[in-house]
């Protein structure tokens, strides 16, 4: 009687979980506009390139070793590697790889890394189910739209109270994706979201010391999403109001910011307007909040001799300062690549001196560069009065030279976003550069071609392309 009564209540609910569930259950591949499918393939290609590049770093070895220790061998692939793992363990590893460099995409308004929140589950669970590429793309699109809409509804609230938004939202998007791949009906997708509400977390304490846990969040969410969908498939009862209910996500996670939630974001024009297609692809491997400042500093590099710089003022979105600029004493002196990614002072100093910021600028020798370290201590960060945040991650830089001149640049639309979005050629170029850190050119081309043809191939064909024995 409990299950029957619960399911009846879920089916008649008008809440956001039901809206997302009904949208997901009804969604067909043919319902998704061609332009959104094209964008999805570009976002997936970018994420897989970043995932491949992660294999050049120590955290990837340690994360995959831990995943292997969890359950041994299985049927599912790990990006750019020869290991084959059980589905949930492979999803965990792939999540770490995709998000590990913080070089993956961001939906600016939602302040969520949506592909990291969706692809680990979509790729791995679809492979385990021997799904088609079109099925993966359909589930991915449903999850992406959910991730962006949940993130957009809270207006940055997760960050305000110390949660990594992607680490929270990804539990729900993954449960939706796994449910879609299983072909679950609306009421079971509601239940899966309700179950995921009990696993959603992702605290930002990693910012204090450059810990690795942010890298772990999307993969753990993929594990939770697959678990939630399988439990729901078998009749496990989950709450029907996981977002807006008493002691639901918004109340428990947002506290005083719960009053700012806009529930209409989660359902308005759902299936008509595809918010995920607006997702920005990063040109720099640092926190997206710093990108406008990085653009401005790179522009000023052309007009400056670094030796002439006396002091620097960086202007950033006010609501992001506590993440990327404070406390100033530690942000001015990052000791790890991860600390550097979240230091506006270090990024701006590097861009002013070198005129660029790529993965090499996060290597140990770059972190130790005495010229950069000296200038970083002279970068003062302020709230940007002209910011277009959260629509864009605007930023500005004002340099005062030793002879008293001032040079200023302000970038309203950060590169990679809006009208400055990377075209396909730019995405492919970034993918090839990222992939080259871990696999040979021919393997990168094979993966590229598989992703761009994903709507015509099986997921197993893509997974086979992604596998690579790094010992050869």
Q: Rounded to whole angstroms, what are the CA distances from 379 to 289, 304, 312, 365, 425?
A: 16, 16, 5, 21, 35
The 3-state secondary structure of 121-165, one letter per residue: HHHHHHHHCCCEHHHHHHHHHHHHHHHHHHHHHCCCHHHHCCECH
The rounded distance, in Å, linking the Cα atoms of 456 and 401 is 57
The domain locations on the chain are 2-278, 288-418
Look at residue 432 in the predicted model and tell me its pLDDT: 96
Q: Give which of 102, 101, 81, 77 is closest to 90, Cα–Cα.
A: 77
Supply the DSSP string of 223-275, one letter for each residue.
Answer: HHHHHHHHHHHTT----S-TTTSTTSHHHHHHGGGGGG--GGGGTTTTTTS-G
Q: Residue 2: pLDDT above 80?
A: no
* 329-371: pLDDT as tens digits: 999 999 998 899 999 999 999 999 999 999 989 989 999 999 9
Task: Please name the helix (run of DSSP H) or strand (run of DSSP E) that holds residue 354, with its range, or none.
Answer: helix 344-354
Arithmetic mean of pLDDT, 21-46: 98
* 136-192: pLDDT as tens digits: 999 999 999 999 999 999 999 999 999 999 999 999 999 999 999 999 999 999 999
Look at residue 12 in the predicted model and tell me its pLDDT: 40
Domains 2-278 and 288-418 share a fold: no
Confidence at 273, pLDDT banded by 50, 70, 90 = very high
- Using the Cα atoms of residue 272, residue 275, residue 277 and residue 278 in order, give the sign of their dihedral: positive
pTM: 0.91
Q: Residue 283: pLDDT above 90?
A: yes
Look at residue 11 in the predicted model and tell me its pLDDT: 43
Query: Considering the domain 288-418, what is its CATH architecture?
Result: 2-Layer Sandwich (3.30)
Task: List own/partner pairs for 262-265 with CB under 8 A and 24 or more apart.
Answer: 262/152, 262/153, 262/155, 263/16, 263/153, 264/153, 265/149, 265/152, 265/153
Q: Residue 6: pLDDT above 60?
A: no
Look at residue 7 in the predicted model and tell me its pLDDT: 44
* Homologous superfamily of 2-278: 2-methylcitrate dehydratase PrpD (1.10.4100.10)
Arithmetic mean of pLDDT, 237-245: 97
Look at residue 103 in the predicted model and tell me its pLDDT: 95
* 361-406: pLDDT as tens digits: 998 999 999 999 999 999 999 999 999 998 899 999 999 999 999 9
Q: Residue 208: pLDDT above 90?
A: no
Q: Residue 96: pLDDT above 60?
A: yes
End-to-end alpha carbon distance in the chain: 59
Q: Rounded to whole angstroms, what are the CA distances from 265 to 59, 152, 337, 364, 369?
A: 36, 6, 35, 42, 45
Arithmetic mean of pLDDT, 205-211: 86
Look at residue 13 in the predicted model and tell me its pLDDT: 62
Q: Give which of 333, 300, 324, 313 is closest to 389, Cα–Cα.
A: 324
Arithmetic mean of pLDDT, 409-430: 95
**Half-sphere exposure (CA, 13 Å, Cβ side) for 134?**
9
Q: Residue 5: pLDDT above 60?
A: no
Look at residue 210 in the predicted model and tell me its pLDDT: 81
Q: Quote the percentage of the chain above a pLDDT of 90.
A: 93
* 45-65: pLDDT as tens digits: 999 999 999 999 999 999 999
Q: Across the chain, what does the average pLDDT equal? A: 94
The rounded distance, in Å, linking the Cα atoms of 46 and 385 is 32
Arithmetic mean of pLDDT, 84-97: 98
With tokens 């570009």, the residue in question is 42
């Amino acid at each position: 009687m409990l299950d029957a009564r619960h399911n009846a209540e879920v089916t008649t609910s008008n809440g956001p979980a039901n809206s997302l569930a009904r949208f997901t259950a009804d969604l067909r591949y043919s319902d998704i506009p061609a332009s959104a499918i094209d964008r999805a393939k570009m976002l997936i290609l970018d994420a897989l390139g970043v995932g491949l590049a992660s294999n050049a770093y120590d955290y990837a070895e340690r994360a995959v070793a831990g995943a292997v220790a969890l359950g041994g061998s299985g049927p599912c692939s790990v990006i750019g590697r020869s290991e084959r793992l059980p589905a949930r363990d492979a999803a965990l590893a792939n999540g770490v790889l995709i998000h590990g460099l913080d070089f993956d995409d961001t939906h600016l308004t939602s302040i969520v890394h949506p592909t990291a929140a969706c692809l680990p589950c979509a790729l791995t669970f679809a492979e385990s189910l021997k799904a088609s590429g079109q099925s993966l793309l359909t589930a991915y699109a449903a999850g992406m739209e959910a991730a962006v809409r949940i993130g957009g509804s809270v207006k940055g609230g997760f960050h305000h109270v110390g949660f990594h938004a992607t680490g929270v939202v990804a539990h729900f998007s993954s449960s939706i994706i796994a449910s879609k791949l299983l072909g679950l009906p609306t009421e079971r997708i509601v239940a899966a979201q309700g179950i995921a509400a009990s696993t959603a977390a992702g605290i930002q304490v990693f910012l204090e010391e450059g810990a690795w846990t942010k890298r772990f969040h999307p993969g753990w969410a993929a594990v939770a999403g697959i678990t939630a969908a399988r439990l729901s498939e078998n009749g496990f009862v989950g709450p029907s109001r996981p977002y807006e209910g008493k002691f639901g996500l918004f109340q428990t996670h947002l506290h005083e910011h719960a009053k700012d939630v806009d529930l209409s974001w989660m359902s308005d024009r759902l299936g008509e307007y595809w918010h995920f297609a607006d997702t920005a692809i990063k040109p720099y491997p640092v926190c997206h909040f710093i990108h406008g400042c990085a653009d401005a500093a790179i522009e000023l590099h052309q007009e400056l001799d670094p030796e002439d710089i006396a002091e620097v003022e960086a202007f950033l979105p006010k609501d992001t300062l506590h993440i990327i600029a404070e406390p100033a004493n530690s942000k001015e002196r990052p000791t790890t690549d991860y600390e550097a990614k979240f230091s506006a002072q270090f990024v701006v100093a590097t861009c002013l001196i070198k005129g660029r910021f790529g993965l090499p600028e996060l290597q140990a020798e770059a972190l130790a560069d005495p010229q950069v370290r000296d200038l970083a201590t002279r970068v003062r960060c302020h709230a940007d009065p002209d910011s277009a945040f959260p629509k864009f991650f605007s930023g500005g830089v004002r340099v005062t030279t030793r002879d008293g001149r001032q040079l200023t640049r302000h970038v309203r639309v950060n590169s990679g976003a809006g009208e400055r979005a990377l075209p396909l050629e730019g995405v492919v170029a970034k993918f090839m550069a990222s992939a080259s850190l871990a696999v040979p050119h021919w393997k990168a081309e094979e993966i590229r071609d598989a992703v761009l043809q994903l709507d015509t191939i099986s997921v197993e064909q893509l997974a086979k392309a992604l596998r690579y024995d790094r010992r050869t």
